[in-house]
Structure 1
Amino acid sequence: MQDEQSEFLRFQMELEFIQCLSHMGYLNYLAGMGYFDDPMFIEYLEYLNYWTQPEYSKFIIFPRCLHFLKLLQSAEFRQSCKNVNFTNFMHRQGYFHWYFKENSTERGLSPLIDIELGQNYSILTLNRASNSNALNFEMVESLVKILQLKNDDITLILCGQKDEFSIGDDMLWLSLNPRSISSFCENKARALHFLKRQQKSVCIMQGTVMGSGTGLALSCKIRIATPTTVFSVPENTFGTCQDGSTANFFANVLKFPLGLYLSLTGDTITGADVFLLGIATHYLPSENAVNKLLNELKTSTNPWQTADKYHSAPQLTNNILHQATQVLENTFGKSNSIEKLKENLSSALKLENDEESVVVKFIKGAIRLIKQQCPLSLKICMKHLLKCRKLSEKDCLVQGYNLQNQLYLHKSLNFEIAVRHKLIQKSATAPEWVPDSIESIPNKDLHMFFANEEGPKIELNN
């Protein structure tokens, strides 16, 4: 039995490793670490050729890795991989082959978005309940087609099926469809841009509101929280970052220390706290109140007045964030880098003697959550929000697009590492991030993520 388990683990590890060979950034890393000069490693590459046999290759999701496995048998190619200009060129060529597809066809609206049209309203319902309304390409593409038909005379209502709003991007789908990533990110940015232009927009934030689901919700003028609302931005745990709409809200609408805290830690906010902390504009205490609001919005010409009518201010909860305003300001509010934040948290902790104090509980909780995040994502996320404080809404969306395009596709292995670790292997342990620490990431390396040199670029019209 143990032999079978060992063989299965070996099979899993080799399947994972050989598919990593499809990424030129990884080949450059291996070359830089000297593996391609090690005779034993070269023998290992020769041994891996058995994966080209049909009974093994059928398990491979990224068949391009077999092409690179063949090229790696050549000493000349292995040496070329040491040159970052060469690997960047090869990466771009492979990307362009994916992106510029021939015979692209116009698709109709997705059945995963239900549309109800009335004289004074339109209701868009995310209809992918089997996947917690996770967003895939056809959904964001359809949102663009619908939302670009701007009409200030109607009330646009956005909600989710089965009392669930959206868990955000479908990470597994993105991992399995890399050639669609840039188009997905572009359509999502455009959908958020068009949604922000709607003068009368309402989001019913029932159930889970996560990831890009928060971007959709926060792009609406009226945001309704309920007792079932669960709000969080877990992108850093997947090696990515928040979209531009969420980043703009955290940087410029919410109190910045709180926005930075939520963005970096991915902390979950529920129910009444979503309103009390300033994320939602209204709070409805029951599903019955939500149903009454929806019915009245269909005939109302003033959605703000209607939402005010059904709003019920909740009592203050015992969430520690309500008591930690000052420590939030002194730590997150006075940090311009992750390194400075860690220093501020450590200094504030040393000043406290009472282990049961609000300050100690808050700081220890924040440190625990930050340790669970991808180091590269943390550094990028911090810079993302700081830059958003000086950008327009439109430029925040462009910046978010550039960063997600890079982190999903071009310059980081962490997204694939996280998807494999969390969604495929379903491991409860922390992924092995690359790089594995904040201190090992030079600040100068962050520029290339924001520049998005590989493209494609995006322009958003006013």
Structure 2
Amino acid sequence: MFKLSVNLTRSASHYIKRTMSSQEQDVLFETLNNAGIITLNRPKALNSLNTSMVTKLLPQLQEWESKKTLVIVKGAGDKAFCAGGDVKAAIDKVEGPRFFYTEYNCNYLIGKYKIPYIAIINGITMGGGLGLSVHGRYRIATEKTVIAMPETKIGLFPDVGGSYFLPRLQVNLGLYLGLTGDRLKGWDVVKSGIATHYVPSKRLYELEVLLSRCTDEVEVDNLLNKFHEPSEQFSLSDNIKHINYCFAASTIEEIIERLQKVQNDWSEKTLKTLSQMCPGSLKITLRALQRGAQLELGQCLKMEYRVACRATENHDFPEGVRALLIDKDNNPQWKPKTLAEVTDDYVESYFKKLPHDRELQFFDSKL
């Protein structure tokens, strides 16, 4: 068991004062011993990401990569790490692509970060919040953690590198999560492979300060392993074989056929969930995950950027955000309306290359 020292308390009080004095900022950057600390600071909006935040994150992460021993990222308050991107802004045809461009550059940098990047995913972590965590070396879940990629419900698709990390989860779990938007909580997040460690939320403060004193990755690794608590059973374990079977199908229609054959409570619930999703999004998502399984992270993000830009230009994404988040009538009018109407040409139109000057370029690109 680790004990807090007097020095720890002093540095902590200084850190808290600094944080409180900059409450108006949407993202906070602090130094604590050897660590750079990032706090997503929009607690009333569940720390959802906007263009302002990702525009500040990218250069700071680049600077710290060569100056710090490690980086810790967390969310303000205890409700959320990050509930996703601010999709009300992202549906704008100009603002949306600008936001995705910088956000995806952040995802790319995190995926290739040279020093330990530790995301404390305490509370709600969805969409863009997974993009800021899952590509990093360490992801710490707590009993408050709830993760999901719910984009198919709003006419989008699991982006922020979702086409990279979801197909790499075991037993087709990623395809299940990406298509249904199902939530995983607490220990399930570790069991799924999305988190690397489980630490009770009451120990996070102690862990953060002790992490900040680490001088290399070996110390970080050892410390996290000491705080990590052993697992409980995976809540989806009874249906893993069904998930693996149903979501191995190559089309949405065949996934539905296989679910109909399973005939249990889980399959009936999953069928109902899929029926509530945007038909176009389901087919676009499946195509993105199938292709992403064969691509590197950077290639996935370039592919996703094309799809995301097309989503801002088409009907379903703005309509889904309107129905679920703006008017809240929960009655989206999808176009195409049914799976049968979603043609292969329609799906492929989202994946076509953009004009050269609109393609996603990474900050370290030679072009």
Give the TM-score of the pair, scaled to structure 1: 0.69
Match of 1:343 in 2: 257
Identify the match of residue 121 of structure 2 among 157, 181, 205: 205
Q: Distance in 2 between matches of 1:244 and 1:451?
A: 18
Q: Is the 8 A contact 1:218 1:246 kept in 2?
A: no
TM-superposition CA deviations, 1:388-447 (whole Å, max 9, x none):
11101110111121111111x22x2112112221222222x3412111111101112222
Q: Please state if 1:441 is matched with 2:342.
A: yes
Displacement after TM superposition at 1:346 (Å) = 2.1
Displacement after TM superposition at 1:214 (Å) = 1.1
Displacement after TM superposition at 1:153 (Å) = 5.2
Q: Distance in 1 between matches of 2:149 and 2:207?
A: 27
Q: Is the 8 A contact 1:372 1:430 kept in 2?
A: no
Displacement after TM superposition at 1:281 (Å) = 0.5
Q: Please state if 1:377 is matched with 2:293.
A: no
Match of 1:240 in 2: 156
Match of 2:300 in 1: 396
Three-state SS of the structure 2 residue aligned to 1:220 is coil
Q: Distance in 2 between matches of 1:221 and 1:276?
A: 16
Displacement after TM superposition at 1:119 (Å) = 4.6
Output the amino acid matched with 1:417.
Answer: E
Q: Distance in 1 between matches of 2:275 and 2:60?
A: 40
Identify the match of residue 126 of structure 1 among 28, 31, 40: 40
Three-state SS of the structure 2 residue aligned to 1:459 is coil
Match of 1:63 in 2: none
Change (3 A) 1:257 1:152: farther
Identify the match of residue 139 of structure 1 among 45, 53, 58: 53
Three-state SS of the structure 2 residue aligned to 1:111 is coil
Matches within 5 A, 1:60-99: none
Displacement after TM superposition at 1:152 (Å) = 7.7
Displacement after TM superposition at 1:452 (Å) = 4.1
Q: Distance in 1 between matches of 2:124 and 2:94?
A: 28
Q: Is the 8 A contact 2:49 2:82 kept in 1?
A: yes
Give the TM-score of the pair, scaled to structure 2: 0.87
Displacement after TM superposition at 1:241 (Å) = 1.0
Structure 1 or 2: larger helix share?
Answer: 1
Q: Is the 8 A contact 1:157 1:201 kept in 2?
A: yes
Output the amino acid matched with 2:105.
Answer: R
Identify the match of residue 406 of structure 1 among 298, 302, 310: 310
Unaligned runs of at least 5 residues, structure 2: 1-23
Q: Is the 8 A contact 1:405 1:452 kept in 2?
A: no
Identify the match of residue 181 of structure 2 among 266, 269, 276: 266
Output the amino acid matched with 2:316.
Answer: N
Match of 2:12 in 1: none
Unaligned runs of at least 5 residues, structure 1: 1-109, 350-359
Displacement after TM superposition at 1:151 (Å) = 2.5
Bigger CA radius of gyration: 1
Match of 1:368 in 2: 272
Q: Distance in 2 between matches of 1:390 and 1:197?
A: 18
Output the amino acid matched with 1:362.
Answer: W
Output the amino acid matched with 1:173.
Answer: A
Match of 1:291 in 2: 205
Three-state SS of the structure 1 residue aligned to 2:81 is coil
TM-align CA RMSD: 1.7
TM-superposition CA deviations, 1:310-344 (whole Å, max 9, x none):
00013215x2x1111211121112x1111221122
Q: Is the 8 A contact 1:244 1:399 kept in 2?
A: no
Q: Distance in 2 between matches of 1:432 and 1:182?
A: 24
Q: Distance in 2 between matches of 1:155 and 1:222?
A: 11
Matches within 5 A, 1:110-125: 111-125=25-39
TM-superposition CA deviations, 1:23-64 (whole Å, max 9, x none):
xxxxxxxxxxxxxxxxxxxxxxxxxxxxxxxxxxxxxxxxxx
Q: Please state if 1:216 is matched with 2:132.
A: yes
Q: Distance in 1 between matches of 2:359 and 2:193?
A: 33
Displacement after TM superposition at 1:383 (Å) = 0.5
Displacement after TM superposition at 1:230 (Å) = 0.8
Q: Distance in 1 between matches of 2:40 and 2:160?
A: 21
Identify the match of residue 169 of structure 1 among 57, 82, 85: 85
Q: Distance in 2 between matches of 1:189 and 1:154?
A: 24
Q: Distance in 1 between matches of 2:155 and 2:171?
A: 22
Q: Distance in 2 between matches of 1:419 and 1:388?
A: 25
TM-superposition CA deviations, 1:86-122 (whole Å, max 9, x none):
xxxxxxxxxxxxxxxxxxxxxxxx9211001245210
Percent identical: 28
Three-state SS of the structure 1 residue aligned to 2:358 is coil
Q: Please state if 1:255 is matched with 2:156.
A: no
